[in-house]
Amino acid sequence: MSEVKLAKRKDKCENCTKQVKLWFFYKCCPFYSVILIMGKCKCQSGRSATRNRGMKLLLSACLSCDGCLSEEETLKISQQSLEEVKQVLALNKKCDVSKHKVLVASVCPQSLPFFAVKFGLDVNEAAHKLCGFLKSLGVQYVFDTTLAAGFSILESQKEFIQRYRRRNHDSHALPMFTSSCPGWIRYSEHVLGSLVTPHICTARSPQQIMGCLVKDYFSKQQKLSPDKVYHVVVAPCFDKKFEAVREEFYNSLLESRDVDCVLTSGQIYYLMEQRKVSVEELDSVPLDQVLGEGGDVALVRHDGRGSEGFLEHIFKHAAKELFGLEVHEITYKTLRNRDFQEVTLERDGETLLQFAAVYGFRNIQTLVHRMRKGRVPYQLVEVLSCPGGCLSGRGQAESEGGRVDKTLVQQMEEVYCSLPVRLPELNPTLHTLYQDWLQGQDSSQTSKLLHTQYRPQMVKRTTFNTRWKLNDWF
């Protein structure tokens, strides 16, 4: 999370935020402060806050406060900054070659529409300008993460089929929840626990698969030790910083993370403004390719509404694999709102599959409430903590006033939808990497590098500011 971001949040009502955080630490949830506000809370400034006055925080906003972090996590997150990247670049300019690192940047496809809108260019040209800017800083290679997302989708498809076939003798097989959103994962592990974690797909997110591609495959191709590669991911979401510092994505032997630093789209754009860089003066440089082929390749996207499209890909794959049905177009049925929708596969009046897309904390709370009561009819739920999906990530879609810029999001959606769709099954690069890098789709290497486990985590309560007394509130 950026220093600028934290400052903005504290300016709104620092004292109220601290007091409400502590109150809910004891009364409700130690990680997600404002789920329901009952009555009023007082603060030293004399102001009060009720559930109708500015206290409806989103899941991503709750995650952006540092109340739930241990000291170790706080240190790791603080290193996810522009300053850290600048230090690496500065070391590279010095004479001590032993401390040089090869900088690699991976850009999420949901970040590219942000730059396209800001630059006033089509998405391919905006990607080239962004690549030119990053390379002008000293970044040697710039990739986009669509390839890694393809791996994540294929592995998620495979796991869903396996879970569906064992559903009758495994109570945790279904529903399967998607695993690409770190805000959702953190909430599940630290708050929901065993109610949800066995249901989460084990496929790694596109970001972390890209980390493996860079630190394992690409570094070997370049004859470099992983610790000599500094990997930066440009993402639309602050929560991706939490994901990058997870213990399982750190190689203690080599002292190397799969992703060394996550910068949001907004942070990169802020850096451009700091340096007074105009788009016109930037060189247009094609993005690099993991396999090292020459020539520019047009950007593509996966199916979906501004995210990676896990629901749509798994739905179509499952329809064909399990029931022999070809599905070309998916029709969403809106339930509570446009961020809670479902998709149904029927044959002869019988419902074969029922999936749901659930975005935003309020809808997630509804989903969890239904799950506690055993009223979730879905075999798969695509869960994202940001309302509207990844394009609406607070790292690029938030306006100066702290709200989501709806006009910007709409423009980004139009840009994103302009990209052609390419099924990961039809990507020859993926098939090549499955064989050359992972030794096959069902190999132990595939399981090790493309999957992980999600488990309930112990809550660390010692990081809260203890100067606030319980007697002040009850």
The residue-averaged pLDDT of 164-168 equals 95
Residue 23 pLDDT exceeds 70: no
The residue-averaged pLDDT of 435-461 equals 87
| pLDDT given for residue 81 in this prediction | 82
- Are 254 and 323 within one domain? no
- Are 343 and 400 within one domain? yes
CA distance 28 to 416: 39
| pLDDT given for residue 301 in this prediction | 87
- Are 328 and 377 within one domain? yes
Is 210 within 8 Å of 106 (Cβ atoms)?
yes
Is 239 within 8 Å of 181 (Cβ atoms)?
yes
Is 21 part of a structural domain of the chain?
Answer: no
SS3 202: coil
The residue-averaged pLDDT of 461-472 equals 34
SS3 357: strand
| pLDDT given for residue 467 in this prediction | 31
Report percent pLDDT > 90 for the chain.
53
- CATH code of residue 256: 3.40.50.1780
Q: Which amino acid is at 223?
A: K
Secondary structure of 230-246 as H, E, C letters: EEEEEECCCCHHHHHCC
> Which parts of 310-468 are beta strand (E)?
333-337, 340-347, 350-359, 380-384
- Are 198 and 258 within one domain? no
pLDDT category at 207 given cuts 50, 70, 90 is: very high
Q: What is the pLDDT of residues 106-131, one digit of tens each?
A: 999 999 999 999 999 999 999 999 99
Is 175 within 8 Å of 351 (Cβ atoms)?
no
Residue 229 pLDDT exceeds 90: yes
Is 74 within 8 Å of 242 (Cβ atoms)?
no
Is 128 within 8 Å of 287 (Cβ atoms)?
yes
Domain of residue 338 covers: 151-204+302-450
SS3 458: coil
Task: Choose among 34, 68, 73, 32: nearest CA to 52.
Answer: 34
Q: What is the pLDDT of residues 393-445, one digit of tens each?
A: 888 988 877 788 889 999 999 999 989 988 999 999 999 999 999 999 999 99
Is 123 within 8 Å of 299 (Cβ atoms)?
yes
Average pLDDT, the chain: 81
Bridge partners, 256 (sequence order): 251
- Are 78 and 135 within one domain? yes
Residue 352 pLDDT exceeds 60: yes
The domain total for the chain is 2
- Are 237 and 137 within one domain? yes
- Are 185 and 167 within one domain? yes
CA distance 55 to 237: 21
Q: What is the pLDDT of residues 253-299, one digit of tens each?
A: 778 899 999 999 999 999 999 999 999 999 999 999 988 776 667 78
- Are 262 and 212 within one domain? yes
Q: Which amino acid is at 351?
A: T
- CATH code of residue 167: 3.40.950.10
| pLDDT given for residue 8 in this prediction | 41
Output phi, psi for 277, to 5 deg.
-90, 125
- Are 313 and 390 within one domain? yes
| pLDDT given for residue 296 in this prediction | 64
| pLDDT given for residue 463 in this prediction | 40
CA distance 151 to 424: 8
Residue 464 pLDDT exceeds 60: no
> Which parts of 250-397 are beta strand (E)?
250-251, 256-257, 261-264, 333-337, 340-347, 350-359, 380-384
Question: What is the value of pTM for the model shown?
Answer: 0.82
| pLDDT given for residue 336 in this prediction | 78
Is 167 part of a structural domain of the chain?
Answer: yes
More confident position, 78 or 180:
180
Q: What is the pLDDT of residues 151-163, one digit of tens each?
A: 999 999 999 999 9
83: alpha, beta or left, given left = phi > 0 and alpha = psi -120 to 50? alpha
- Are 266 and 410 within one domain? no
- Are 329 and 404 within one domain? yes
Report percent pLDDT > 70 for the chain.
79
Residue matched to tokens 């930066």: 232
Is 245 within 8 Å of 272 (Cβ atoms)?
no
Q: Which residues contact 276 (CB under 8 A, 6 or more apart)?
A: none
Residue 303 pLDDT exceeds 50: yes
Using the 8-state DSSP alphabet, how is residue 163 labeled? H
- Cβ neighbours of 49 (radius 10 Å): 20
